[in-house]
Structure 1
Amino acid sequence: MPPRSWSPKPAVAALAWALAAVALVATILGPEATARVMLGTATAMLLALAAYSTFVRPKLTADGDGLTVRTLTGARHLPWHQVKVKLVRTRRLGREVATLELDWRQGEDEQLFVLTPMDLGTDPEDVADVLHALRP
């Protein structure tokens, strides 16, 4: 079975880069110091989002051997027998949000990966269904 992968949508990365460029120009041309500080902070946040959406691709890959999760510190391969896949629904501010939790454990080492719709580029429920179908 061919590997499946999920990543942030390219449009999100492109929009973040464009907004960061606009914010940078506004920061440079800002009329007063307070405005430049606030715009500079917004620029830094947009640049971080753009870089994250661009360089951490694909965020999740699934194949017959297990899952591979890519983070800022590198990729981690999680064999199927060491990972629990769980769909979690949380209600906040009157809105229900689904996240995909990958609970990995190997001996004393353990790590929890929480993937949002933005990380996956799609609904986590759809990804969970595919992962449960791929799991041997």
Structure 2
Amino acid sequence: MPPGQVAVKCVAAAAVTALVVLYRHDYQFLFLAAVAAVGLNGLALRDLLAPVRLSADGEGMTVVSGYAGHRHVPWREVTSIRVDERRRVLARTRILEIETTDDLHLLSAFDLGADVHDVADELYRIRARTSPEPPR
């Protein structure tokens, strides 16, 4: 996760939290600002607690699990690594999908701090160096 994006998220969370304090007399605004503050603070806290969403080595990969936990997945449990790309009217989304024997992990370029195609290629290379079977 790029540190600049985490910093922006923390500043936005602090700003919205300050709005809650400043406008506590307007109950409708207070409700909306409080909901936004809770959400932004939750996301900022997650980014601070679990800044690394994916790492890989010769033994397997470690992926973020739940709110801020991590789970090590050995290469033998990884069934596929692929990039899902979808185009809408003016938007294009790319998601790295890592399928294991019991789970599906979805990571965006924002989560990874890099292009999902580059990350997928690197995962293929690491897996090929350490595993006798080729990635699917």
TM-score range, shorter chain: 0.7 to 0.9
For 2:14, the aligned partner's letter is: A
For 2:92, the aligned partner's letter is: E
Unaligned ranges ≥5, structure 1: 1-7
Rounded Cα–Cα distance in structure 2 between residues aligned with 1:114 and 1:54? 20
**Candidates 87, 97, 112, aligned match of 1:91:** 87
Q: How many Å apart are 1:94 and its aligned residue?
A: 2.8
Unaligned ranges ≥5, structure 2: 129-136
Deviation beyond 6 Å, 4+ runs, structure 1: none
Per the normalisation by structure 2, the TM-score is 0.85
For 2:22, the aligned partner's letter is: L
- 1:18 aligns to 2:11 (yes or no): yes
Conservation of the 8 A alpha-carbon contact between 1:12 and 1:53: no
Rounded Cα–Cα distance in structure 2 between residues aligned with 1:52 and 1:90? 27
Q: How many Å apart are 1:73 and its aligned residue?
A: 5.7
Higher normalized contact order (CA 8 Å, seq sep 6+, divided by chain length)? 1
Rounded Cα–Cα distance in structure 2 between residues aligned with 1:73 and 1:20? 18
Q: How many Å apart are 1:16 and its aligned residue?
A: 1.1
- 1:81 aligns to 2:68 (yes or no): no
**Candidates 58, 76, 97, aligned match of 1:101:** 97
RMSD: 1.4
Where does residue 118 of structure 2 map in the other structure? 126
For 1:56, the aligned partner's letter is: A
Q: Does the residue aligned with 2:52 lie in a helix, a strand or coil?
A: coil
Q: How many Å apart are 1:115 and its aligned residue?
A: 0.5
Please identify which structure carries the higher strand content.
Answer: 1
For 2:19, the aligned partner's letter is: A
Where does residue 51 of structure 1 map in the other structure? 45
Conservation of the 8 A alpha-carbon contact between 2:50 and 2:68: no
For 2:113, the aligned partner's letter is: G
For 2:16, the aligned partner's letter is: A
For 1:82, the aligned partner's letter is: E
